Structure 1
Amino acid sequence: MAAVRRAGPNPGSEPGPEYKRACHVLLHAPSPHKVFGRVPVRHVVLMQMRFDGRLGFPGGFVDPRDSSLEEGLNRELAEEMGLGVGVARVTENDYISSWVMEHPQKIVGYFYAKRLSLEQLEQLEAGALSAKEHGLEVMGLVRVPLYTLRDGVGGLPAFLRNNFIGNAKEQLLEALGSLGLVPQNKLQEAVQASRE
Structure 2
Amino acid sequence: MRLAFLASHGGSAARHITQACQSGELGAVPLALASNNSRSAALEWAREAGLQTAHLSSARYPNPAELDAAIRDFLVGSGADTLVLSGYMRELGPRVLEAFAGRVVNIHPSLLPRHGGRGMYGDHVHEAVLAAGDNESGATVHLVTAGIDEGPILAQARVPVLAGDTLPTLKARVQAIESDLMLRALRALAAEEVRV
Same fold (TM over 0.5): no
Query: TM-score band, normalised by the shorter chain?
Result: under 0.3
- Structure 1 or 2: larger helix share? 2
TM-score (norm 1): 0.23
Greater relative contact order, per chain length (Cα 8 Å cut-off, separation 6+): 1
